[in-house]
Chain A
Amino acid sequence: MLKVNDLVVRYGVIEAIKGISFEVNDGEIVTLIGANGAGKTTTMHTISGLLRPYSGNVELDGIDISKVPAHKIVEMGVAQCPERRRIFASQSVEDNLLLGAYTRKDKEEIEKDLANVYKLFPRLEERNKQLGGTLSGGEQQMLAMGRALMSKPKIMLLDEPSMGLSPLLVKEIFSIIKEINDNGTSILLVEQNAKMALSIAKRAYVIETGRIVMSGTGEELLNSEDIRKAYLGG
Chain B
Amino acid sequence: MTFLTYLISGLALGSVYAIIALGYTMVYGIAKMLNFAHGDIIMAGGYVAFYAFSKFGLPSYLCIILSIAVSTIIGVIIERLAYKPLRQASSLSVLITAIGVSYFLQNAAQLMFGSDTKIFPAMLTEGSLKMFNGQLTISYLTIITIVTCIIIMVGLTAFINKTKIGKAMRACAEDKGAAQLMGINVDTTISVTFAIGSGLAAIAAVLLCSTYPSLSPTLGSMPGIKAFTAAVFGGIGSIPGALLGGMLLGVIENLTKAYISTQLSDAIVFTVLIIVLLIKPTGLLGKKENVKV
Q: Which residue of A lies closest to B287 (CB)?
A: A90
Report chain A residues within 8 Å CB of B181. 48, 50, 70, 74, 79-80, 82, 86, 148
Give B255-293 as 1s and 0s: 1 = Cβ < 8 Å from A's Cβ atoms. Answer: 000000000000000000000000000000000001100
The smallest C-beta distance from B291 to any residue of chain A, in angstroms, reads 7
Considering only residues 178-206 of chain A, those with a C-beta below 8 Å from chain B are: none
Report chain A residues within 8 Å CB of B183: 71-72, 74-75, 102-103, 151
- Docked complex Cα distance between A59 and B181 (Å): 18
In the assembled complex, B178 has its CB within 8 A of some CB on chain A = yes
Q: Let me know if A82 and B178 touch, CB within 8 A.
A: yes
Question: A99 and B185: CB pair below 8 A?
Answer: no
Let me know if A88 and B175 touch, CB within 8 A.
yes
- Bound-state CA distance A102–B184 (Å) is 7
Indicate if the CB atoms of A86 and B180 lie closer than 8 Å: no
When the two chains form their complex, are residues B180 and A88 in contact, meaning their CB atoms are under 8 A apart?
no
Q: Say yes or no: is B118 at the interface (Cβ < 8 Å to chain A).
A: no
CA A144 to CA B182, docked complex, whole Å: 11
Is there a chain A Cβ closer than 8 Å to B18's Cβ?
Answer: no
User: With contacts A82-B178, A95-B167, A102-B168 known, is A89 near B184, CB below 8 A?
Assistant: no
The answer to the question of A39 belonging to the interface, with a C-beta cut-off of 8 Å to chain B, is: no
The reply to whether the CB of B164 lies closer than 8 angstroms to some CB of chain A is yes
Q: Which residue of A lies closest to B185 (CB)?
A: A71
Docked complex: A72-121 residues within 8 A CB-CB of B: 72, 74-75, 79-80, 82, 86-91, 95, 98-100, 102-103
Residue in B168, B171, B177 whose CB lies within 8 Å of A82: B177
Cα(A98)–Cα(B167), bound, Å: 10
Q: Is B84 an interface residue (CB 8 A)?
A: no
Work out how many contacts link A and B, with CB atoms closer than 8 A: 67
Smallest Cβ-Cβ distance to A80: which chain B residue: B181
Question: What residues of chain A lie closer than 8 Å to B184, measured between beta carbons?
Answer: 71, 99, 102
* B180 contacts across to A, CB distance below 8 A: 48-50, 70-71, 74
Interface residues of B in 170-213 (CB under 8 A from A): 170-171, 174-175, 177-186
Closest to A73 in B: B183
Of A70, A87, A90, A98, which is in contact with the most chain B CB atoms at under 10 Å from its CB? A70
Q: Write the residues of chain A forming the contact surface with B, with a CB cutoff of 8 angstroms.
A: 45, 48-50, 69-72, 74-75, 79-80, 82, 86-91, 95, 98-100, 102-103, 133, 147-148, 151
CB interface residues, B 16-59, toward A, < 8 Å: none
Partner of A69, one of B168, B171, B185: B185
**Contacts A91-B170, A95-B167, A99-B167 given: A86-B182 contact, CB under 8 Å?**
no
Contact of B175 among A75, A79, A86, A103 (CB under 8 A): A86
Contact across chains for B168 and A86 when beta carbons are under 8 A apart? no
Q: What is the bound-complex CA distance between A50 and B180, given in angstroms?
A: 8
Contacts of B179 in A (CB 8 A): 99
* Residues of chain A contacted by B177 (CB below 8 angstroms): 45, 50, 82, 86
Query: Contact: B291 with A99, CB < 8 Å?
Result: no
Q: How far is the CA of A142 from the CA of B177 in the complex (A)?
A: 19
Question: Which of A69, A86, A103, A133 contacts B178, CB < 8 Å?
Answer: A86
Beyond A69-B185, A70-B181, A74-B182, whether A99 also contacts B171 by CB under 8 A is yes
Give the contacting residue for A89; candidates B164, B185, B291; CB below 8 A: B291
- Give the docked Cα–Cα distance between A224 and B282 (Å): 55
- Is A88 a contact of B170 with CB atoms below 8 Å? yes
Q: Name the distance in Å between B87's Cβ and chain A's nearest Cβ.
A: 13
In the complex, what residues of A have CB within 8 A of residue B170's CB?
88, 90-91
User: Given the complex of chains A and B, what is the CA–CA distance between A49 and B290 in angstroms?
Assistant: 25
The closest CB in chain A to the CB of B176 belongs to A50
Take A50-B177, A90-B174, A91-B170 as given contacts and tell me if A99 and B182 are in contact as well, using a CB distance cutoff of 8 Å.
yes
Chain B residues with CB under 8 A of A82? 177-178, 181
- Which has the most chain A C-beta neighbours within 10 Å: B170, B175, B182? B182
List residues of chain A with CB within 8 A of the CB of B168: 99, 102
User: Closest chain A residue to B291 by CB distance?
Assistant: A89
Judging by beta carbons under 8 Å apart, are A100 and B182 in contact? yes
9 tightest A-B CB contacts, nearest first: A74-B183, A103-B183, A86-B178, A70-B180, A71-B185, A102-B183, A99-B182, A71-B183, A102-B182
